[in-house]
């Protein structure tokens, strides 16, 4: 099950970027939303020079699977517990 409808339509990096940002809007708290929006942006910067179409499709598939895992995990746990599990501790 995909985190949002339309995951099966994602074919290009810009579509993935928009899709992942829409997924972030579904997260329960502003802190979690900001954390994952930052992670999405960073990932796109890291992979911006990728030009191998096969590798790009692998990245898209993995990003959707990861978003699915995060969204499903959030559906199973209370907000307070999700916050502590999904955000890295600031004391490290």
pTM of the entire structure? 0.75
Percentage of the chain exceeding pLDDT 90: 57
Residues 6+ apart with CB under 8 A from 58: none
* Domains of the chain: total: 1
Amino acid 92: pLDDT: 44
Q: What is the pLDDT of residue 1?
A: 44
What domain range includes position 22? 7-79
> In this structure, is residue 2 part of a structural domain?
no
Q: Is residue 90 part of a domain?
A: no
Q: What is the pLDDT at residue 47? A: 93
Domain assignment of residue 88, yes or no: no
Give the mean model confidence (pLDDT) for residues 9-37: 91
Residue 41: pLDDT over 60: yes
Residue 86 lies in a domain: no
Sheet strands (E) in 1-92: none
Is residue 16 domain-resident? yes
Q: Which of 75, 78, 61 is nearest to 19 (CA)?
A: 61
* Angle at CA of residue 72, ends 24 and 5, nearest 5°: 60
Mean pLDDT of 51-65: 94
34 within domain boundaries: yes
Residue 91 lies in a domain: no
Nearest to 3 by CA among 84, 86, 16: 16
């Amino acid at each position: 099950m995909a985190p949002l409808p339309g995951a099966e339509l994602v074919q290009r990096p810009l579509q993935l970027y928009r899709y992942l940002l829409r997924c972030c809007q579904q997260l329960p708290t502003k802190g979690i939303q900001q954390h994952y929006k930052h992670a999405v942006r960073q990932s796109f910067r890291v992979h911006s020079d990728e030009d191998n179409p096969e590798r790009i499709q692998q990245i898209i598939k993995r990003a959707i699977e990861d978003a699915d895992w995060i969204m499903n995990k959030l559906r199973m746990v209370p907000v307070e517990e999700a916050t502590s599990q999904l955000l890295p501790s600031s004391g490290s």
